[in-house]
Amino acid sequence: MREGAELLYTAREIRDRVRELGAAITRDYAGREPVLVSVLKGSAVFLADLLLAIGVKARVDFMSISTYGSDSQPSGVVRIMKDLDQDIGGEDVIVVEDIVDTGLTLSYLLSVLQARRPASIEVCTLLDKSVRRITPLEIRYRGFDCPDRFVVGYGLDISERYRNLPLILAVDDPAALAEDPDALLPFLEAGPEG
Ligand code: IMP
Ligand code: MG
Reported as a single tens digit per residue, the pLDDT across 166-183 is 999 999 898 888 888 898
Q: What percent of the chain has pLDDT over 70?
A: 93
Residues 167 and 192: beta-carbon distance below 8 Å: yes
Answer whether residue 86 shows pLDDT above 90.
yes
Average pLDDT over residues 99-128: 96
Strand partners, 144: 127
* Cα 67 from Cα 115, distance rounded (Å): 20
pLDDT class for 100, splitting at 50, 70, 90? Answer: very high
- Catalytic entry in 92, 98, 101, 128: 101
Average pLDDT over residues 62-67: 89
What's the gap in Å between 93 CA and the centre of ligand 2? 17
What's the gap in Å between 1 CA and the centre of ligand 2? 26
Residues 3 and 172: beta-carbon distance below 8 Å: no
The pTM of this model reads 0.94
